[in-house]
A and B are shown apart, each in its own frame.
Chain A
Amino acid sequence: MSVEDLLRRLEEKGLEPVDRGDVVSVAVEPHALREVAELLVEEGYDHLASVEGIDRPGEDVIEVVYHAESYSEELWGKLAEIRVRVPRGEPRVPSLIDVWPNALFLERETWDLMGVVFEGHPELRRLLMPPDWEGPPPLRKDYKVATEGVFVVVE
């Protein structure tokens, strides 16, 4: 269980991990996601700190980013990041709830707010949004928030 082991094993899988100081980042294809996640668990990353979606309408993708964290002292300062790019029209990734049990609410939230479908997740129900919410997921870039200017003209 060390960062070197992790980098070596990821490279053995033909991936290109990048060490950014406090994060080891690795980009994977959706079909390889689960395999890499299991590898991370074996290397001591016992839980997820975050699941998020980054909407990139310019490239027509949604980037799903997982941050795994470890409570083992040797891995404290280093998060493991998995990045998956999925098409914006049909964002589907396999659910990692079997690998990291605490993905339960993190994935559900990402589905709720970003519209990413986690296949195999047992309860993709509304979590933070109202149960009857319709319209684009609020964290997508095409959901606009009204903003105001600085100046008001008065008579």
Chain B
Amino acid sequence: MSRRKVGLREHVEAVATGLKYLVKPNRITVYYPEETIGLGERYRGMIHYDWDKCISCSLCAMICPADAMKMYKKKGEKKARPGINYQRCIFCGYCVDICPTNALSFTNVHDVAYESLEEMVYPPERFVEEWVSPAEKEGAKRLKVVFDEERGLVHVPE
């Protein structure tokens, strides 16, 4: 790799490049929470649990690398069911991928906020709740990410 000498010309070139973007900016800001990016179907977001499909095999809890997934067993009952602790979950998706009956599935909701740590623990009864993005509930506009040769990423309304 050879290196060019630089001088006054490069000063001018640098200032000109700056001016170019001052005149024609290439912004990538998304005005969250007024707008939100609609995530793809592959997105590994919050996990949804289907009560009826679950066969209580406990593979999800066994493969969880962060000890987030636990099998909750009611006293006296035989069948244990998974519950998740979002304080620990790292969204690796191992539990979803190993589930033999597709009882666990990804949603594309990720922007959830909690008021207390206890709320982040989901026993099986709460684990079945449907996920809704809070921003979208408040009326955020969904945007789609489009790749563009000129501008890199462009966000257009879905």
Chain A residue with the shortest CB-CB distance to B63: A150
Q: Which residue of A lies closest to B67 (CB)?
A: A148
Total interface residues on A, using CB and 8 Å? 7
Q: Interface residues of A: mostly helix, strand, loop or mixed? A: strand
Residues A117-152 near B (CB distance < 8 A): 148, 150-152
Within 8 A of A (CB), among B25-67: 58, 61-62, 67
A-B contact count (CB 8 A): 29
Chain A's nearest CB lies how many Å from the CB of B55?
15
Report how far A153 CA is from B76 CA in the complex, Å. 10
Do residues A150 and B75 form an inter-chain contact, with CB atoms below 8 A?
A: no
Q: Please state if A152 and B58 are interface contacts (CB–CB under 8 Å).
A: no
Quick one: closest A residue to B59, CB to CB? A150
Are A152 and B72 within 8 A (Cβ)? yes
Contact with B along A59-103 (1 / 0, CB 8 A): 000000000000000000000000000000000000000000000
CB distance from A30 to the nearest CB of B (A): 38
Q: What residues of chain B lie closer than 8 Å to A152, measured between beta carbons?
A: 70-73, 83
Question: Residues of B contacting A151 with CB < 8 Å?
Answer: 58, 61, 70-73, 80
Interface size on B, residues (CB 8 A): 13
Chain B nearest CB from A148 CB (Å) reads: 5
Bound-complex Cα distance A153 to B123 (A)? 11
B3 beta carbon closer than 8 Å to chain A: no
Contact A150–B74 (Cβ < 8 Å):
no
- For B73, the chain A residues whose CB sits under 8 A away are 151-154
Chain B residues with Cβ below 8 Å from A148 are: 67, 70
Question: Quick check: B72 and A150 within 8 Å, CB to CB?
Answer: no
- Give residues in B with beta carbon < 8 Å to A: 58, 61-62, 67, 70-75, 80, 83, 123
The 5 closest A-B pairs by CB, nearest first: A150-B61, A152-B70, A151-B71, A148-B67, A153-B73
Binding site for B on A (CB under 8 A): 148, 150-155
Given contacts A151-B73, A154-B123, 7 further A-B contacts (CB under 8 A): A151-B71, A151-B72, A151-B80, A152-B72, A153-B73, A153-B74, A154-B72
